[in-house]
Structure 1
Amino acid sequence: MVIRAIEHIGITVPDLEQATDFFVDAFGAEKIYDMLDEPLAGPAVETGLGIPQGARIEAIRMLRLGEGPNLELFTYSGTAQREPVVPSDYGLQHFCVYVDDIDEAATRLEKAGGQLLSAPGDLPGGDAGEGNRYLYARTPWGSTVELVTYPSPQAYETRTSLRRWRPGKDSDTEHQEK
């Protein structure tokens, strides 16, 4: 079996158009298509997705984001919804976007309605290297997003021959069979 990469990340949002505008404005995402002609609901959907009884998927939209995973945006109705998780909560807590110019990306994210939680800082530990930087931010609806750039070799590379997947690399020739 060959594992290639993460294909998409699903994100539940309160407003599909606001979220689409944010990802387009902040990251140059492209709207590919809307998946549903009508809402999805009922016992099969509730069981299949592990969602509460009465929950209804109102819309699903697929976005293309650079060279990495696609973003699949969902809106729901018919169920109580909690605030977005923060990095200290259990479960999927953030997604990370690799950028070439982190200062420009941070400005663009903020201009699109996101909130920077800090200025770009140097990556620590095994990720350290000249010009390797990151920052965390929040989307307009409160999900956590990280921006990262690592143009230089990372410190961990001196300790192992294994390598992280990097955007822009030919992952087809570098994948490992599991």
Structure 2
Amino acid sequence: MKMNHVGIMVADMDKAVEFYTKALGLEVVMGNTQVIEERETAIGRMCIAVFGEGFQGFNIAHLITSDGIGVELFAMKEHQPRHIVDFTRLGIFHFCLQTDDFDEVIARTSQFGGKVRMDIMRYHPEDDSKQAKMVYLEDPFGNLFELYSHSYAETYASNYE
């Protein structure tokens, strides 16, 4: 099994594309594109199945990480105000990115309208040979994401050197 992409709801597509490309370094595969409710195409029928009748249309952009994972940004015409994270709700509540440019990505996150949600944390502060760091951040629309300085295996494996 491989991760292919993640879909993220945003309120302003231009601001979202700017944030995800300039703050986080993703690349645009397909720029801001309008999708309307229609039944003539497979995509149109799929959108009705997913979003329901009368979804009013949306804009979508497709971005990609340096390791090939897709990020779909959705800006619905009828969007909700910024959400408050409800940790009682089941489902995905964040995604995680990894970078070699940890401190600079954190700075750019704030510069482009995101938030730093916590102090930077080391997973193994008692072991100077393990330098894995993490932080929770937020995009300009309230979507949580985590930032890692090291790979998943380096961060969690007890025997990883």
TM interval, short-chain normalised: 0.7 to 0.9
Residue 85 of structure 1 contacts residue 143 of structure 1 at CA under 8 Å; is this kept in 2? no
Secondary structure of the corresponding residue to residue 158 of structure 1: coil
1:130: which partner in 2?
A: 130
What residue identity is the alignment partner of 1:15? Answer: D
What residue identity is the alignment partner of 2:99? Answer: V
TM-score normalized with structure 1 length = 0.71
Residue 58 of structure 1 contacts residue 74 of structure 1 at CA under 8 Å; is this kept in 2? yes
Runs of 4+ in 1 over 4 A off after TM superposition: 35-38
Measured in 1, the distance between the counterparts of 2:86 and 2:53 equals 28
TM-score normalized with structure 2 length = 0.77
2:95: which partner in 1?
A: 95
CA RMSD of aligned residues (A): 3.0
Measured in 1, the distance between the counterparts of 2:23 and 2:11 equals 18
Alignment CA distance shift 1:46-1:67 (3 Å): closer
Which residues of 2 match residues 64-79 of structure 1 at below 5 A?
64-78=64-78
Measured in 1, the distance between the counterparts of 2:67 and 2:114 equals 22
1:173: which partner in 2?
A: none
Count of residue pairs the alignment pairs up: 152
1:81 aligns with 2:101: no
What residue identity is the alignment partner of 2:107? Answer: T
The Cα shift of 1:47 comes to 5.0
Fraction of identical pairs, as percent: 23
Secondary structure of the corresponding residue to residue 157 of structure 2: helix
Secondary structure of the corresponding residue to residue 104 of structure 1: helix
The Cα shift of 1:155 comes to 5.1
Gaps of 5+ in 1: 160-178
Measured in 2, the distance between the counterparts of 1:57 and 1:65 equals 26
1:27: which partner in 2?
A: 24
Deviations along 1:120-163, one digit per CA (max 9) or x if unpaired, are: 11126xxxx7110100011111110110122694453439xxxx
Gaps of 5+ in 2: none
